[in-house]
Amino acid sequence: MSRPVLRPFEEADLPAAAGLLAQRHGAHRKRHPLLPADYEDERLALVEVTAVWESEGASGAVLAEEGELTGYLLAAPKPAPMWGPNVWVEAAGHAVREPEHIRDLYGAAAAQWVDAGRTAHYVLVPDDAELVDAWFRLGFGSQHAHAIRPVPSGVVAPPRDLVVRRAARADIPVLAELDLVLPRHQGRSPVFSAGEPGTYEEAVADWEESIDDPGYATFVAVHNGEVIGSSVGCSLDRSSAHSGLAKPDNAGFLGFAAVLPAARGLGAGRALGEAVLQWSTETGYTSVVTDWRVTNLLSSRAWPRLGFRQTFHRLHRLIGY
């Protein structure tokens, strides 16, 4: 019996890698049937793996046993400075027959990334417990959650002392203020996000331009006559963070929600999320997707309580500390 062979990923490996990816996605859909069925087809899985391979700066490794490919890992950098000197393993960038083998593949591929100065590593992993554990034992930790739920069949009324309605142009000043609430919150402990919050003036200008865009449904929560929170729903097609295997068919997107700090605890966040869910039902979507930083104590508790089930874990590792 020959020993397993680890070597760099080559273009000729794409068809076999697509087969592994299609198998992984089929197993994933048994837990989350709302995920797109298309990528159980090896031909469409090949499109996804090829796109990763053709990304600028892509590199990786494969594991072969008895001449058969049994695992692969592919990653590429992103140019955005907020991610640091990075490399990303996207949803289509890895698949293995045995979860433990992802550790061997990472060991073979990561040396090149670190030698190139890319010390911030990110990976999008299906919610397979053994696979997540293997990544954890490579020094990765959970950073971000992707989640899905079916649209609701009934209407949930907001708490008695809250009114939830569609936003109007007169709400722009407080909508702009709420746009800054979320990034400021995530810049603090325990999230410590590096994202820049922007300015109030920029937020006002954005709302002046987009408030009438029919592709977005913006809701506000009102308490004692004052707007205290907002949420935004749209088609998942408008989210660049959800694509390929992680993009369900015909899905709405809970893209934003924030409540003024002084008004938290009144149930406004949940009511605003329910408003987007109800809008998604009325619009004809079959599911709703959202995502959150797992270190955001508010959203990581609010959205699972609203019925969202995590489909992918974005894991992160910073080398050298």
Q: How far apart are CA 232 and CA 100, in angstroms?
A: 40
Does 315 reside within a domain? no
| 3-state class percentages of the chain: helix first, strand second, coil last, to nearest 5 | 40, 30, 30
Out of 120, 139, 158, a domain closes at 139
Other CB atoms closer than 10 Å to residue 102's CB: what's the count?
A: 25
Quick check: 57 and 5 in contact, CB under 8 A? no
Output the pLDDT for position 286: 97
Output the pLDDT for position 189: 96
Total structural domains in the chain? Answer: 2
Out of 105, 139, 173, a domain closes at 139
Q: Which domain holds residue 95?
A: 5-139
Does 316 reside within a domain? no
Out of 80, 115, 139, a domain closes at 139
Which strand (E) or helix (H) includes residue 173?
helix 172-187
Q: How far apart are CA 274 and CA 156, in angstroms?
A: 7
Does 121 reside within a domain? yes
Output the pLDDT for position 53: 98
What is the reported pTM?
A: 0.94
Does 145 reside within a domain? no
Q: For residue 12, what is the domain's CATH number?
A: 3.40.630.30
In DSSP notation, 4-16 reads PEEEE--GGGHHH
Q: Fill in the amino acid letter for 275.
A: A
Does 319 reside within a domain? no
Q: Give me the average pLDDT of each 10-residue run along the chain (321 residues).
A: 87 98 98 97 98 97 96 96 94 98 98 96 98 98 98 89 97 97 94 89 97 97 97 96 95 98 96 98 97 97 97 96 71
